[in-house]
Amino acid sequence: MYVGEILISMILGILAVWDWRKKELPVLLLIVSGLGIGIAGMVWLTVSWESRGIGLLPGVALMVISLLSKGQVGLADGVVFAFLGAATGIEKTLAVLLYSLALAALVGAISMLWKKKKGKDTLPFLPMVLAGYLGMFVTVLV
């Protein structure tokens, strides 16, 4: 029933763990994950082609921000959002992005308050993306 969403969650889970531990993603893992997300989206999710095409835009925007900020935002984060947008469409992708950014801001603020992180320290973003995707998935179910 929710095969596509579950598969995408599993792939995002693998990427999140890798990002958390290594702070970077190998290109091969990114490509294989992107193909998995794309196939899961195409086979099991009913999304219009227009929404899928427009769904690429948040990922493209993140990639441009990554290039302009000289890597302050990870390029892989933008690539993952482009794959996610092509699979799930613009509405779900924007919801995941908003949930992810809100969670990252919250985790960053708490980390700074607890003196675990400083202003220039980085946080792995893909764990927030996984949480954002799961949050979007749960809100759609309710």
Strand positions, DSSP E, 22-124 = none
The pLDDT, as a whole number, for residue 15 is 97
Residue 116 binned pLDDT confidence (cut-offs 50, 70, 90): confident
Asked if pLDDT for residue 106 goes beyond 90, the answer is yes
Collect all residues with Cβ–Cβ distance below 8 Å to 62 and sequence separation of at least 6: 73, 77, 78, 81
**pLDDT tens digit sequence for 7-34:** 999 999 999 999 999 988 999 999 999 9
pTM over 0.85: yes
> Do residues 96 and 133 lie in contact, with contact meaning Cβ atoms separated by under 8 Å?
yes
Average pLDDT of the segment spanning 116-135: 88
Q: What is the number of structural domains in the chain?
A: 1
Q: Average pLDDT, stretch 50-54?
A: 97
Q: What's the CA gap between 34 and 113, in Å, rounded?
A: 35
pLDDT top residue among 139 and 1: 139
Residue 94: which domain range?
A: 3-141
CA distance 133 to 48: 19
